[in-house]
Amino acid sequence: MPKVLVSDPIDQAGLDILSQVAQVDIKTGLSNEELVQIIPEYDALMIRSGTRVTPEIIEAGNQLKIIGRAGVGVDNVDVPSATRKGIVVVNSPEGNTIAAAEHALAMMLSLSRYIPDANHSVKNGQWDRKSYVGAEVYKKTLGIVGLGKIGSHVAAAAKAMGMKLLAYDPFISIERADHLGCRLVDMDLLFRESDYITLHIPKTPETANLINAEALAKMKPTVRIINCARGGIIDEAALAEALKEGRIGGAALDVYENEPLEADSPLRSLGKQAILTPHLGASTAEAQINVAIDVAEQIRDVLLGLPARSAVNIPGLYPDALEKLRPYLQLAENLGNLVGQLAGGRVELLNVRLQGELADNNSQPIVVAALKGLLSQALRERVNYVNASIEAKERGIRIIETRDGSIRDYTGSLHLEAKGALGDHSVTGALLGDGEIRITDIDEFPINVPPTHHMLFTRHRDMPGIIGKIGSLLGSFNVNIASMQVGRKIVRGDAVMVLSLDDPLPEGILAEIMKVPGIRDAYTVML
């Protein structure tokens, strides 16, 4: 009988499911060294947030088939190490959706009516009604940043309460937003017009300190901000200062840059205009049961030889097919990521064309990999090879698949064309003989470059001096160029330039690049 190690507290409902197919050992509070010692005898590992699954643990887990994280994030699992070892990693991306959405709504209403402070006042023997005159949410404007599953549920509830809804999400189609009763707007307009702002986005380099002093200065003096998403999206010092000076109306936070919240945090000294809770978004009995059942069912299925429904690496492909398609899956994911960023995220139609020998293969894994890459900037660890198609459908992204075996520039190549509200872009990529990925075409301009972590793309007039000016400008910002290539169709016409960089571009440099005579467009891309 298979053996499952449960190294963090898990609801009994999940343990009961595991017990149907395996011997279940519950051993919590183990050190990394202790886990390394005992993990070789187990077929599955089930954790929550307490256990950190390191490369050493994974390397020692010679019998491990699956690692299950009863929750959304998998930051505490070394997913690349697990993937290399052929271990499926699963999570529960939807198990706490309702809990997190309801907590955000509860925070918004509590903030509007000063419920925590009023409760504390009465319990201390006071009867001070005048100090707690609140505000109604009816007919107020709620700005929702992020219209994923949690943001969408908040939108539905807020709409039912009679609120007007604005939303910012570059990865959601206008049709999907309309269906939810939201008007898609840019971030600045959302900041300026919202009476309430609620955040439902992951923390990424792009969203870190999204709500900073500059953003706060654009908001109404009565605005109330709610963050039950991730710590670090709000500049806490700037928020505390704005609240103390009365430049915004209030804030309700469940997550923080550092947790537990530091004893000397300026947020702790704020009065009734601030509500602080200790990361309770997923802390409901129902959510804990849901994530336990969800992950336990997936562990059970994998131990029975069935695919997992929420794997965060590569599920659902048999070893022989996986080995054959693995390089093309990486190619498709890279190209999807690239074309999504070039299109600004809001893609409404994705054309996927398999070319050459690739046209003879099963297209579904390739399309799913392209969608995973396309959505990865918005969803991060929440998008995987299982749910990418569903996530794309929910965002109103239409898919067209075509095959063209007659294109033989390379043994097999993949062409993606993204059509969206901000314009159309296309990319083509191929595998060289040694399996190295190459980008061979951008917006119909021929190039030949490998994808790298930091890249700069420009569209410009093919004229003397452009390359030198861009190089000098990057040098003045201490940005090192690893490689550069230019593609053009005709002499002195339009051209594209692709720069592989050793460093991310500092803030403000893209605007300076756009000032260079002859530059038509410039994009930064992270792969």
Q: How many residues comprise the chain? A: 527
CA 380-149-426 angle, to 5 degrees, is: 50
The most distant pair of C-alpha atoms in the chain lies apart, rounded to whole Å, by 83
Torsions phi, psi of 283, nearest 5? Answer: -90, 70
Q: State the Cα–Cα distance between residues 148 and 125, nearest whole angstrom.
A: 43
Which residues are within 8 A (CB) of 402 and not within 5 positions of it... i.e. 6 or more apart?
Answer: 351, 352, 353, 354
Q: State the Cα–Cα distance between residues 516 and 87, nearest whole angstrom.
A: 49
CA dist 374 → 80, 366, 368, 402 (Å): 20, 12, 10, 18
Q: Which of 93, 407, 100 is nearest to 255 (CA)?
A: 100
CA dist 294 → 3, 286, 291, 417, 435 (Å): 19, 12, 5, 36, 37
> Alpha helix locations (H) across 97-247?
97-113, 115-123, 149-160, 174-179, 187-193, 213-218, 236-244
Task: Classify residue 503 by its DSSP letter.
Answer: S
Which residues are within 8 A (CB) of 127 and not within 5 positions of it... i.e. 6 or more apart?
Answer: none
Hey, which residues are catalytic here?
A: 230, 259, 279
Q: State the Cα–Cα distance between residues 373 and 331, nearest whole angstrom.
A: 10
Q: How far apart are the first and last CA of the chain?
A: 42
Edge-to-edge strand list for the sheet holding 183-184: 183-184, 164-168, 141-145, 196-199, 224-227, 250-253, 274-276
Q: State the Cα–Cα distance between residues 95 and 81, nearest whole angstrom.
A: 25
> What's the CA dihedral at 299, 302, 303, 305 to 10 degrees?
160
Q: State the Cα–Cα distance between residues 441 and 446, nearest whole angstrom.
A: 5
Cα 409–chain centre separation: 35
Q: State the Cα–Cα distance between residues 410 and 138, nearest whole angstrom.
A: 60
Contact 437, 431 (CB under 8 A): yes
Contact 105, 275 (CB under 8 A): no
Contact 431, 393 (CB under 8 A): no
